[in-house]
Amino acid sequence: MRPPALPCIRCGECAAACPAGLYPQAVLAALQRDDLHAAQALGLDACDGCTRCDAVCPSAIPLSGWFTAALTTLQREQSDDAFARVSRQRYHFREARLLREQQEQAAERERKRASNASADAVAQALARAKARRGKPDRPA
């Protein structure tokens, strides 16, 4: 059973043990401030969770637990960002599609109006023909 964690005494054992060359105490301080991006700037992404820092920490701080939790949070934020990006793209596609459909409908209406206009010309021709037919027939 691991003993409860004491405050960090900044002894540097974790930095000496880290195969990724990180300064886990500085990363931990950033995470304790809830500053994920500062931790990322200090190389949090390079942590592969080898737990060597846990093994050497005299304060028994679960450093790798902190880092894994933070990496998970970052991963979720990144997946949220990706979801937002895809949603935004879909929204723009939908907007473009609606605009295109609107334009197509307008064009269709215009075409129908034009065809209606041509239908009127036929009706006039028919009326004229009917009017001609209405005249008395020529004697055979």
Regarding 31 and contact with another protein (CB under 8 A), the answer is: yes
The total of other beta-carbon atoms located within 10 Å of residue 9's CB is 12
Query: Which residue from 37, 73, 86, 114 is in contact with another protein, where contact means CB under 8 A?
Result: 73
Query: Which residue from 11, 106, 126, 129 is in contact with another protein, where contact means CB under 8 A?
Result: 11
Regarding 84 and contact with another protein (CB under 8 A), the answer is: no
DSSP calls for 38-58? HHHHTTGGG-----HHHHH-T
**Nearer Cβ to another protein, position 37 or 97?**
37
Q: How many helices (H) and strands (E) does the chain have?
A: 5, 0
Regarding 98 and contact with another protein (CB under 8 A), the answer is: no
**Nearer Cβ to another protein, position 33 or 92?**
33
DSSP calls for 4-51? PPPPP----HHHHH-TT---HHHHHHHHHTT-HHHHHHTTGGG-----
Regarding 100 and contact with another protein (CB under 8 A), the answer is: no
Regarding 55 and contact with another protein (CB under 8 A), the answer is: yes
Least Å distance between CB 1 and another protein?
10
Report CA dihedral (85, 86, 90, 91) to the nearest 10 degrees: -30
Residues in contact with another protein by the rule CB under 8 A: 2-13, 15-17, 19-23, 25-26, 29, 31-32, 34, 41-43, 46, 48-52, 55-56, 58-62, 64-66, 68-73, 75-76
